[in-house]
Amino acid sequence: MKRMVGIIVMTIGVLIFTVGLVIYAKSPKSAELAKNNKDLDEIVEMAIADGVLTNNERNIIKRLTKEKGLDYDSIIKHAENQISNFKADTAETKIIDLNKKNGDDFEKYIVKKFDKKYFNIKEWAGDKYVNGVYAKTTLQPDILFEFSLKNQTVEFSVECKWRSKYYKKGIEFASSEQFKLYQDFEKNRNIPVFIAIGIGGKGENPEHLYIVPLKSIESNFITTDKLKDFEKKGNGNFFFDIKTKELK
């Protein structure tokens, strides 16, 4: 009997608590707290989105956290960390985009140095891929040229690389795998391959320009001392020597 009474009392207690929650949820105070919570979330999200936590936003967050009994300092610290991460990601994206633009501009810079009267572009590869799937031209040098002079025609390829500065007294113009692919391309097609390297300035106007025959190097890294042997001086156009198969 006592056990039955206890169960009844417990049941009544649960019902009363449930009814109390329903009434509280419908009360103006609960609605106001929910609204404040939404306002707080929106303010923090806006601050993170634009990357700036203004004094006005700080004051609003301070008021809302006080009304809700929340820790103002921890919420502000969280928002500041999020903003810091947002800026870092954005800065990194800008750097990647800028490097891509300089690389594209350098290719155009190189192309403009070939007189259309003698040089014809047969292929211009693009670095396009998705989920590890590449076009075949992505795995070969950037540009395949055809040089024609006095009824003689010769093909050669140019890989274009721009770098903002030297690294460890040289530059790494490709991965080891890419370097091997360029060597295979040169051998299988039986045509010379040249590495056009721009250093400093911008892609559209590098401070230094080097034209390195692939056959003259043994790895994907070229030292500054080695590069000196292949620097192109002046702003003149390229010339291809059919007899020696040199690009100058």
Q: What are the tens digits of pLDDT across the range 58-82?
A: 777 888 888 878 888 888 777 777 7
Q: Domain 98-247: which CATH class?
A: alpha beta
Average pLDDT rounded to a whole number, residues 208-213:
95
Give the pTM. Answer: 0.59
SS3 content of the chain, % helix, strand, coil (to 5): 50, 20, 25
For residue 36, give both structure tokens: 């404040």
Q: Are 219 and 212 in contact (CB under 8 A)?
A: no
The pLDDT tens digits of the residues spanning 79-99 come to 777 766 655 555 445 555 677
For residue 130, give both structure tokens: 């998705």
Report how far residue 4's alpha carbon sits from residue 6's, in angstroms, rounded to the nearest whole number.
Answer: 5
For residue 240, give both structure tokens: 């291809």
User: Please, where in the chain does CATH 3.40.1350.10 lie?
Assistant: 98-247
Instruction: Quote the longest CA-to-CA distance of the chain.
Output: 117
How many residues can be counted in the chain? 248
User: Residue 174: CB partners within 8 Å, gap ≥ 6?
Assistant: 159, 161, 182, 220
Q: How confident is the model at residue 196 (pLDDT cuts 50, 70, 90)?
A: very high
Return the closest-CA partner of residue 227 out of 174, 175, 171: 171
What is the pLDDT at residue 242? Answer: 87
The pLDDT tens digits of the residues spanning 94-138 come to 555 677 888 889 999 999 999 999 999 998 875 544 444 444 445
> Can you tell me which residue has the tokens 């192109």?
232
Most confident option among 29-38, 222-231, 234-243: 222-231
Q: Residue 233, Cβ neighbours under 10 Å: how many?
A: 7
Residue 186, pLDDT > 90, answer yes
Q: What percent of the chain has pLDDT over 70?
A: 65
